[in-house]
Structures are given as C-alpha cells and as structure tokens.
Structure 1
C-alpha cells in the first residue's frame, strides 16, 4: 500500500517504521526541517509540508491510505485542511479522549454532551472532507520511555486516585493496521487500554480508593469496547501498570 502520514510526530515515526517494515510505501510529512533526516530512516519519501500554506503534497495525488496525525487547534488549520486535495480509499484521523468531560463516568462514542468544541470541530472538518475517515480518539500515549514513572520521577502526582486512560503506542500501531486491513467505515472509536488502574497504583503508591461517586463509577473511564467488538481486537498492552 502507498500510505501517507501527514504530521509525522512521535507516534507517526513509530507507525511509519512499522508499516515500512511490513512492505508498504510510506510518505511522511513534517513542518520541521530538523525532523527530515530522522524521518528518512523510517519512510520511503519525506516532505516538508504545511497545508495551511500549501494544498498539495508532492507524489501524493493518489494514495491507498492517509493518516492524519497532526495538531488541529488553529483556525488556519481548518482553512488549510478544507483545501487539501488527496485521493485515498482509507483515511485515519488521530483525535483525543480529551474530547470528553473531565468528570466521573464511563464515556463511550455515544456520549455527545459536554464535548470539547475544538476537538469536535476538528473531527467534523476531517470527516466532512473525507467521509470514509476512521477517527481514533487516543488516550494518553505511553511506551518507549513515556511513562508516569518518568513523569513523576522528582515530584508527586497531584491526584493519585485518578484513573488511567492510557494507550501504549504499540496498540495504536496495531489498531491502525487493523483499520487499514478492513473496509472503510467512516466511524469514530475510542482507543484506550481496557484496564484502568489509578495513577497511584501505577506508581506503586499506597492509595485509598474512595467510593463516593453518585453514579457508582469512581473516576473517569473511557471505554474502547466498540473498537474491540468491531475489529475483534485484543490489546497487546491492556494494563497501563505494566507499560
């Protein structure tokens, strides 16, 4: 497959390396000149590209798949994306579980209330342009040196009872592979490890887990059950405590 990763950052580099090793032709874009040499080691072609200024990626007129893996916050981004012209059968957009309210409860893709307006707008912009897009709402990305242990190496977590809604980067890669091997669907999925230990449990702290939630759920849980069911997916790293 000829696959473009638009906005090839931390996850994109690892995804590109994996897909290239599988025999796919990878095209990686970045807005940072200093990243070009690194990307050349994991992609077949690398381009400096900022679609807020340019609408066309060289050699990308026709693609088997495109993965949109870039920040989508500024108004310029929306205007630029709407002008982007790519021919592709498959498309994937990396969104965030930060779209859901910061409150107790179990959140699924069916939850529509209290969503972050900027992320909703970004998802709608991508899906309007490319209706076949699979939107993956990623949890906190961990693995390969990214860990709570490193983050809190010299400080204490402010809320050790907070439940983890994390995802190992390997599961992002394998989930994307599952999507690319399936018919385009135009769906939205949460992608979060199915086990939700507390931050304190991950850090091996003594934590008293209270049970005072009015709805019976002590903490905020993002559910990936829809993705598990639709793709018959088994997480390689189901428990953030062992990332």
Structure 2
C-alpha cells in the first residue's frame, strides 16, 4: 500500500483516484468546496487549493500530505497552445511551492495539443520537453518526473457526438480515461521515472466514423485517414501495454 496524492481531482483526477483507491491511501486537492464531502466519504483526504490565486503560500497546513506521500499525480494543466505565459508561470510557481522538493514518484499530465497542427505522424522525439514551456518548467524543477501527453479525454458522458465538430474527415487522437488510469497504475508498479509518453489510443478513425458509431450507425471497416496523428508506440513497447479501449469508435460501449 502506498500514500498517493492527486493534485487536481477534477474530471480526470477523480477517475484516476477511483482506479487507485483499492489498496492505496489517497490524498487529493480540489478547487470546488462542493466536492469535499463526497471525497471525504470516499476516504480521499481532500483539501481545497487553487493554484491560480496570487498567494502562493495558501496555508499549506490544510494539506500537509506531501511529506508523507510516495507518489504524486498532478493533473493541473501546465501545457496548451492557448495558455497565457503569465498564468502558466504563476500556476507552476504556486504548485512547486506547494509540493516543494518532492522526492517520490511524480506524474505530470500534459497534452498532445503541444504538437503542431500538421498532417504528420508525431512521436515524442519530435518535440522534446525543453521545447514546451510547461514541460520545460517541470523537467527543470523535477528532472525525474514522468510527463504524460494525453490525447483528447473521453469516456462516460464525454462523447464526440455530443460536441459541435468540424473537419469530420480528419483522424482523432483520443484516449479513454480508463487507459490513462491503467497506464499510471502500470508505471507505478514499474517505478518509472523521467519518462515521456504520448497516451493516445493506437487507432485513429475519422471523427465522422466515431460519431457514426456513437449514434448507432452501420458498422464500418476501420479506415485511418491522413492527418495529424499522435503515436503511442513508445508507450506500448516500453510498458508492454495493451489498451483497454484501443478504438475510439467504441469508447461508449
């Protein structure tokens, strides 16, 4: 059993917590007072922390867990093409002040949105953390941190068919939350450090095919159109990982 902290127990963080709650002691942060009672009921030891506030000290006594944690998972967004530099710097400054010189196993969630909008296949080698401002801050402060570049987050009520979508002929780069949680769990068991992975379902059907499947359209043979495609080959090979949901057309099944 390990003591695990989840900083940012929102849509994704809460689902990772569900996966790891069996056999581990969990601590979490949230920005929402409405979630505290539910997290307490689940035994997550929650604290209300907002890393975008000006005061970087924020009474750390409300969550003194970092000193007792062996594993820390940060889902607070630190990357994205549309993130303002000042917001990013303040958020990371507050976050790093909060967790201090953490020496345990550390995970940061990034995004495949850091890759250029080009009709190519991208691997981790095409964009090093030093070229991504948020990831560069992470690696400079925590060189052994694992950085996971997540595809479009899907699962449960998050279905592509529920959104207004353009360019439906292009391929998707999606990931089911269950696979994110399973990848983190496997990396914990392997004591992974300093890794950079694209966490994206290995199949890339078109947006139109995904929407059709979710709307109970006729079964179609998988066709992967040309377009911006993020490869998860390194993750699959390094971790010998088999995806729970390899095909985004069937995330809803």
TM class, shorter-chain normalised?
Answer: 0.7 to 0.9
* Residue 66 (structure 1) aligns with: 72
Q: Return the offset for 1:116.
A: 11
Give SS of 1:93's match: strand
Q: Which runs of 5+ in 2 are unaligned?
A: 219-224
Structure with the bigger percentage of helix = 2
Is 1:111 aligned to residue 126 of structure 2?
A: yes
Give the conservation status (yes or no) of the 8 Å contact 2:5–2:65: no
Instruction: Pick from 209, 227, 232 the counterpart of residue 235 of structure 2.
Output: 227
Give the conservation status (yes or no) of the 8 Å contact 1:62–1:88: no
* Residue 125 (structure 1) aligns with: 137
Give the conservation status (yes or no) of the 8 Å contact 1:28–1:43: no
Runs of 4+ in structure 1 off by over 3 angstroms are none
| Structure 1 residues 82 and 46: alpha-carbon distance in aligned structure 2, compared to 1, 3 A threshold | closer
* Residue 209 (structure 1) aligns with: none
Residues 102-128 of structure 1, C-alpha deviation per residue, up to 9 Å, x if partnerless? 110000000038x997xx111121222
Give the conservation status (yes or no) of the 8 Å contact 2:174–2:201: yes
* Residue 115 (structure 2) aligns with: 100
Structure with the bigger percentage of strand = 1
* Residue 164 (structure 1) aligns with: 172
* Residue 148 (structure 2) aligns with: 136
Residues 14-51 of structure 1, C-alpha deviation per residue, up to 9 Å, x if partnerless? 1112211x210000101222222232244430111234
TM-score, normalised with respect to structure 2: 0.82
Q: Return the offset for 1:185.
A: 2.1
**Between 190-199 and 80-89, the greater mean CA deviation after superposition:** 80-89
Equivalent residue runs for 1:23-102 within 5 Å: 23-51=23-51, 53-54=56-57, 56=60, 57-72=63-78, 73=83, 74=87, 75-84=89-98, 85=100, 87-102=102-117
Count of residue pairs the alignment pairs up: 225
Counterpart-to-counterpart distance in 1, 2:101 and 2:26: 15
Q: Return the offset for 1:67.
A: 0.3
Counterpart-to-counterpart distance in 1, 2:175 and 2:187: 17
Q: Which runs of 5+ in 1 are unaligned?
A: 207-216
Give the conservation status (yes or no) of the 8 Å contact 1:27–1:45: yes
| Structure 1 residues 190 and 78: alpha-carbon distance in aligned structure 2, compared to 1, 3 A threshold | same
